[in-house]
Amino acid sequence: MRRQLIKHEGQTAPRHSGIENREYPRVPVFIPVSCVSLDSNFDPIYQSMGAIKDVSQTGVGIEVPCDIRSEYVGLTFVGLDNEIVEIKGKVVFSRVTTVGTSRLGVLLMGGKAEIDLFVAKVVRFHHYTKNVKCAD
């Protein structure tokens, strides 16, 4: 079987080698999130639960059980100190997975400080809860 090669910053790397060609790399996380579809006036259309699957300095990857067709979403989760953490985002891609869920790429909206705070709370939540086991 022949592998297709791509150039990456002066290197030759096999396609799907794990090298990302992004300005801000993704960090894998898992955080339950409320995902509200918003119209162009940012009024709610539909609400669904999902999970943030990865985060970067400017966006998040989300998986939801239904197809989201709106251009904007509102994201909400409960942080470590039981505070409500919210932000709006623009859906930059949406695709249906093989299991029928939707995978969204969301560009976070707001000022730099607001986006940085949201990303920090996502990463902090993930690191403090990744080894927590549910009681049986």
Could you tell me if 60 and 31 are in contact, meaning their C-beta atoms sit under 8 angstroms apart? no
**Residue 84 burial (CB < 10 Å; 0-12/13-18/19+)?**
exposed
Q: Which of 66, 70, 64 is nearest to 88 (CA)?
A: 70
Could you tell me if 63 and 103 are in contact, meaning their C-beta atoms sit under 8 angstroms apart? yes
Percentage with pLDDT > 70 across the chain: 79
**Structure confidence by residue, pLDDT tens digits, 1-51:** 343 433 334 444 444 445 556 677 888 999 999 999 999 999 999 999 999
Q: Which residue has the tokens 């699957």?
A: 53
**Residue type at 26 in one-letter notation:** R
In 3-state terms, what secondary structure has residue 10?
A: coil
Question: Average pLDDT of 121-130?
Answer: 87
CA 44 to chain centre: 19
Looking at domain 25-129, its CATH superfamily turns out to be predicted glycosyltransferase like domains (2.40.10.220)
pLDDT confidence of residue 52: 96
Q: Which of 134, 113, 116 is nearest to 124 (CA)?
A: 116
Q: What is the 3-state secondary structure (H, E, C) of 53-75?
A: EEECCCEEEEEECCCCCCCEEEE
